[in-house]
Amino acid sequence: MVGEYFVCKDDDYKKEMAYLKSKIDAGADYIITQMFFDASVFKQFVSDCRSYGINCPIVPGIMCISSYGGFVRMTDFCKTRVPDDLAARIDLVKDDAEAVKQLGIDFGVEMVTELLNEESTGAGLHFYTLNQEFCTNSILDIIKDRMGISLGENVETIFGLDGRVTEKRECIDEAVAVEIQGWTLAGGQKVMAYLNRASYKKYAKVDDVGTVYGLRGKINEKRQEGAIAAEIQGWTLAGGQKVMAYLNRDSYTKINDSVGTIFGLDGKILEHRSKGAVVAELEGWKLAGDQKVIAYLNSSSINQ
């Protein structure tokens, strides 16, 4: 990768990219990367490959964090860049083995969700388990639920407008019926569309946060001590300017945050919706067959 913190310096990187191109030209079908902990580095690598004419699938190599000692050894051995935010998070729990495992799961879910929802990096995942399958299995269990489409969820459609899912047609390979948002016919009739899987895209949720303004924010920049710069969604200034907010950690909630609920149980946030509402998995409450309990809560039904 590029720069002083990565494996290759600039001149060597150019040589490696040319060599990689020659492998693909010789008949290689796909690329699996080394492990990384910064999704932006992988995205840049994919972009660089495309600029070199490398157009095969590029599969991200994911190593789960299952212990502090193993994390330090592997990142040192592989000269892997560790983002400041992750370094701070793991330093807080490094002496608690179970907390480190949970951080590994939470961070893994955040990163792979971002990768799977990015059109240019959606080639799948390759996990380096190192005989520690628990973390990988836990991530996949969560991702499997997260990547599905829910009734009432907004998706991006080929028409350039959002569509609210009103029906799932499981027998037709993930086809859905959606109500197109912001488009009405004469007499105020709603516009319905029936879309196959190639005609809509699930919105990435990993960089969504709920803000103190009751509106969703999209993370634009991460700062020290959990502070962020976020683009407020659904709010524009004169001339169509975007609204940016600088929020400390107490001023927003993110995916996997735990919040109090009106049921007297904590809920793990799975999705942010409009006007401060969230979709949350209630913790400590399961149905027959070990099914999870999912609640759709307005802003007055939760507390941080």
User: CATH number for the domain including 131?
Assistant: 3.20.20.220
137 and 19 share one domain = yes
pLDDT for the residue 121: 61
Per-residue pLDDT of the chain (304 residues; tens, 9 = 90+): 333 444 566 678 889 999 999 999 999 988 999 999 988 888 889 989 999 999 888 889 999 999 999 999 999 888 888 888 899 999 999 999 999 999 999 899 888 888 876 666 656 789 998 888 888 988 888 877 666 677 777 788 888 788 888 888 766 667 888 988 878 888 888 899 998 877 887 765 556 788 877 777 877 777 777 788 888 877 778 777 888 888 888 888 887 788 888 888 888 888 777 667 788 888 888 887 777 888 888 878 887 6
What range defines the domain where residue 198 resides? 154-202
In a domain, 192, yes or no: yes
In a domain, 291, yes or no: yes
Q: Is 210 exposed, middle or buried (0-12, 13-18, 19+ CB in 10 A)?
A: buried
194 and 284 share one domain = no
44 and 129 share one domain = yes
84 and 182 share one domain = no
196 alpha carbon, distance to own chain's centre: 23
What pTM was computed for the model?
0.55
In a domain, 271, yes or no: yes
21 and 108 share one domain = yes
138 and 194 share one domain = no
Q: Which two tokens stand for residue 120?
A: 């240019």
pLDDT for the residue 48: 92
pLDDT for the residue 90: 92
119 and 47 share one domain = yes
In a domain, 3, yes or no: no
* Overall number of domains in the chain: 3
* Structure letter (DSSP) for residue 274: G
pLDDT for the residue 147: 62
Asked if residue 210 lies in contact with residue 253, where contact means CB atoms within 8 angstroms, the answer is yes
Give rounded-to-5 percent helix, strand, coil for the chain.
Answer: 40, 35, 30
pLDDT for the residue 9: 60
In a domain, 5, yes or no: no
List beta partners, residue 259. Answer: 267
In a domain, 249, yes or no: yes
Helix (H) / strand (E) element for 242: namely: strand 242-247
In a domain, 91, yes or no: yes
212 and 113 share one domain = no
User: Which of 202, 218, 239 is where one domain is finished?
Assistant: 202
